[in-house]
Structure 1
Amino acid sequence: MNTSKFLQSITVAVSSALILSACSDSVQSTAGEDFNSGGGNNGGTTTFNETALLSNLTNNVITPAYLNFETLANQLHLAVDQYCSVETSFNNGSATAAERDNELAAAQQSWHNSMEQWQKIEVMQLGPLIENQSLLRNQIYSWPVTSTCAVDQDVVYFNQGSINGEPYNIANRVATRRGLDALEYLLFNENLEHSCSSTTAPDGWDNLTSAERRQQRCEFATEVASDIGQSSQILLNAWDGANGYAASLLNAANEPGSDFANAHEAVNRVSDAMFYIDSVTKDGKLGVPLGLFENDCQQSLCPQDLESQFAYQSLEHIRNNLISLKSLFTGEVNNSEDTTGFDDYLIEEGATMTANNMRTAIDAAIADVEAYQQNLSLTLQNNDAQVRETHRKVKAITDQLKTDFINQLALELPATSAGDND
């Protein structure tokens, strides 16, 4: 995907390549009453137990999400490896096409499972996922910075075993050549031609048979899946290890082992992560393809700027973003009796109407996405009014997030939203 215009259209805190300029379309956003003052609900000026909020969200919402992804990432590696083994067997005549196709379908389903969980984590980007200009996050999933040509090139480099005279090592490759987005291309793209220009074409690809191309792609897919599994373990260690970021959140009340001066500061970092729904889900995943901002189609409807170009899961990604936002806002997840969330904080601060309005808006947006009868690409082309309505419903959430929510809890806007008039 050509993302150069896309990157000019949205501000995404999760990726260093996207820290550009924010978009706007209507609502005036302001910081909380004590924005950048160090005051507000800080140092005991609120009766709400912010430590309890941090405890529930860390232990029962975020940490289980990271743990689940690590499990699913390892399963993904096994499924892709099994598919490639059968692809090899098919090529040498010891497996049927049906057996090969069944294993491919199983690998694709495992990708779906992993991506579903990752899209929830996208709204939980804290600590290790935003450190070093979001390096780890981008290694696992770099969208919207993607390049199918880069993946095509690395298929060949990997199968050759070297690049520029050095042994191939995926750990040394840039994010656009690895991760869940690269794996989507490898597993779901049925076109065996490369996607590069004549000057950047992978060496020798045009001389390969279809069977050889499938074989080389599946072998690189196995390497990519293995790399995702390793990155998921690095994430888990950085989050849940003895000195991990989770411990810092849990010890945020001026205790040793914390990166925060107080619990309110830590709460603000969790709030920052929730603004992914504004700058990425609303603006990037909906606004850009709708032509509300500059895109690859001169601000016309632009299906090629949708997130999932090969598995057609763009709607599911948006839905999982919203489900994750709801779990952070309400503190409600399966298998946990603790439901301390931001809604409880708002109610304690006398903002019951805001709490109710935001819950209602989140539920309405989820229901809207679940009502689609076609994937987002087809709907955008056949009924863009429905997609505009989805954008409106997500905006109903983010308008409140950037005004009543931060004002009533005396939170600071994240850098991507400070000064943004959207």
Structure 2
Amino acid sequence: MFSRYSLLPVLIPVATLFLAGGVAHAAPSNAQWQAINVQLTRDHILPRYQTLARNSTELAAATDMLCQQPEQLAAAQTAFHNTMDAWQGIQHVQFGPVEFLMRNFSMQFWPDKKNLTSKQLNELLSQEAAANLTPEYFRGASIAVKGLPALERLLFSDKYQTPYGCQLTAAIASNVATMSREIAEEWESQQLPRIDAAPDGEDYYEDSTEAATELMKALVEPVEVVRDLKLLRPLHKGANKAKPRRAESWRSERSLRNIQLNLAALAELYRGNGSTSVKELLTAEGEAALAYQIDTHFQQLDNQLSSIDKTLYLAVKDPADHATLKQVSDQMKILHRQLEEAMQKLNIQLGFNSRDGD
């Protein structure tokens, strides 16, 4: 009978060969993550917040002009679309300065299941109080009336286009511009230094991997959020039972565009600048096939959404388009699962998902 110790000389070489065959890889180093963190912060996050600040400032100016020249409504609506484009392009980043004072919810309180925005807007309009148009008021106002959904109702509904309604529109637009500017400035002055200092482990982050974990949450979790809230809610149980008014931004007819912009932003976050990216890091870790599959899914989703030639409001009620959007939903589920797998391969522990149990 063999002693259990007599097997060790045989098992050790076998184990060595098993590991050398690519089954096990060392986790990416802090230096590798730091390169990605800096690249994504400087080239992805900061420019997008700066675009939001610039576009929202132009929106505030356009709504001011609207109150003087009502014929400028189309220009104000265009400025709203530009601002919403910018917001949708950075909405996936739900950490850092955007969390301070609940700015993320103040920018966009949605989904609004109890229609609080319309109810509270109607109350403000009925009061016609000058005190409700001041920056001081909006610092303590309900999140339902201080951001983009409130502006959408005011700019895309005839019943709100009154003299006081225009003044309220301008006041809310000014509040959005202020929040956007402050977020952009604080990312540059506060959050960027925290990212830069992550390798020292003496500031906000313990190390670069901890900082990377927040960025990777911004890559993975929004896929599920967009699928569940922006797509499945209006799709509901079928074309004949669709709920188009559950769609985000249906009044301004940009629900589908929002989803496309969300996914395009996530694709850029994944692809980075090519040589320094999550995609390349995954490939370097021996997961080239998975890296390619994720990249391909982003492209397929963009192609599928681009093939729909009507608004989401109409598409969810059309049997053929409903079927296409259901395929998009299925593809997003696969993409989310693959991104979670990628995080496991990269030894990133995403931890608690705030949407768990919703």
Common fold by TM > 0.5: yes
Say which is worse superposed, 364-373 or 312-321, in terms of deviation: 364-373
Q: Deviations over 1:277-336 (max 9, x none)?
A: 33320111112222269xxxxx9421111111210111000000001001110013xxxx
Partner of 1:265: 210
Superposition deviation, residue 396 in structure 1 = 2.4
Q: Report 1:306-385 matches (<5 A).
A: 306-332=247-273, 339-383=275-319, 384-385=322-323
1:240 aligns with 2:188: yes
* Aligned residue among 121, 137, 148 for 1:151: 121
Aligned partner of 1:198 in structure 2 is none
* 2:230 counterpart of 1:230: no
Select the residue among 333, 353, 357 that pairs with 1:395. 333
- Aligned length, in residue pairs: 327
Shift of 1:48: 6.6
1:187 aligns with 2:155: yes
CA distance in 2, matches of 1:65, 1:112: 15
Deviations 1:249-278 (A, max 9, x none): 12211254x311111111111011123433
CA distance in 2, matches of 1:47, 1:121: 25
Q: Aligned with 1:340: secondary structure?
A: coil
Conserved in 1, the CA contact under 8 Å of 2:77 and 2:155? yes
- Alpha carbons of 1:168 and 1:341: their partners in 2 closer, same or farther (altered >3 Å)? closer
For residue 115 of structure 1, what is the aligned residue in structure 2?
A: 84
Matched, 1:76 2:17: no
Q: Which of the numbers 87, 105, 129 marks the counterpart of 2:74?
A: 105
The CA deviation at 1:362 is 0.6
For CA contacts below 8 A with separation 6 or more, give which structure has more relative contact order. Answer: 1
Match of 1:174 among 142, 145, 150: 142
Return the match for 1:124 from 93, 106, 116. 93
Q: 2:107 aligns with which of 125, 137, 140?
A: 140
Partner SS for 1:309: coil
Aligned match of 2:22: none
Distance 1:153 1:328 in 2: 41
Aligned to 2:345: 408
Partner Cα separation in structure 2 for residue 340 and residue 56 of structure 1 = 7
The two structures have a TM-score, normalised by structure 1, of 0.72
- In the TM superposition, residue 414 of structure 1 has moved relative to its aligned partner by 4.4
Question: How far, CA to CA, are the matches of 1:417 and 1:175 in structure 2?
Answer: 19
Q: Which moved more, 1:321-330 or 1:136-145?
A: 136-145
Structure with larger Rg:
2
Q: Percent identity of the aligned residues? A: 24
Unaligned runs of at least 5 residues, structure 2: 1-24
* Displacement of 1:131: 4.3
Question: Given that residues 58 and 250 in structure 1 are in contact (C-alpha distance below 8 angstroms), is that contact kept between their aligned partners in structure 2?
Answer: no
Please give the alpha-carbon distance, in whole angstroms, between the structure 2 residues aligned to 1:46 and 1:353: 21
In structure 2, relative to structure 1, the CA distance for the partners of 1:314 and 1:238 (3 Å cut) is same
Deviation at 1:349, TM superposition (A): 1.0
Cα distance in structure 2, aligned partners of 1:172 and 1:417: 25
Q: Tell me if the contact between 1:315 and 1:369 (Cα under 8 Å) persists in the aligned partners.
A: yes
Q: Which has the higher helix share?
A: 2
Match in the other structure for 2:21: none
Q: Distance in 1 between matches of 2:207 and 2:232?
A: 36
Q: Tell me the distance in 1 between the aligned counterparts of 2:232 and 2:33.
A: 34
Listed one character per residue, the Cα deviations across residues 87-128 of structure 1 (whole Å, up to 9, x for unaligned) are 2xxxxxxxxxxxx1xx11111001111101100111122212
CA 1:72/1:152 → structure 2, altered by over 3 Å: closer, same or farther?
A: same
Answer whether contact 2:249 2:255 (CA < 8 A) is retained: yes
Counterpart Cα distance in 2 of 1:418 and 1:348:
31
Q: Please give the residue correspondences for 1:21-60 in structure 2 after superposition, counting only pairs within 5 Å.
A: 46=29, 49-60=32-43
- The amino acid of 1:309's aligned partner reads W
Structure 1 counterpart of 2:264, one-letter code: I
The answer to whether the 8 A contact 1:51-1:253 is kept is yes
Is the 1:289–1:303 Cα contact (8 Å) retained in structure 2?
yes
- Secondary structure in 2 aligned to 1:49? helix
Alpha-carbon distance, 1:155 to partner = 2.8
Pairwise CA RMSD of aligned residues?
2.6
Question: How far apart, in 2, do the equivalents of 1:81 and 1:47 lie?
Answer: 49
Q: Shift of residue 344 of structure 1?
A: 1.2
CA distance 1:354–1:131, shift in 2 (3 Å): farther
| Contact kept in structure 2, 1:48 and 1:348, CA below 8 Å | no
Distance 1:224 1:190 in 2: 18
Partner of 1:3: none
SS of residue paired to 1:350 = coil
One of 47, 63, 66 as aligned partner of 2:49: 66
Q: Does 1:275 align with 2:220?
A: yes
The answer to whether the 8 Å contact 2:30/2:199 transfers is no
Distance across 1 between alignment mates of 2:108 and 2:143: 8
Contact kept in structure 1, 2:205 and 2:211, CA below 8 Å: yes
User: C-alpha displacement at 1:419, in angstroms?
Assistant: 6.8
Alpha-carbon separation, structure 2, partners of 1:367 and 1:72: 27
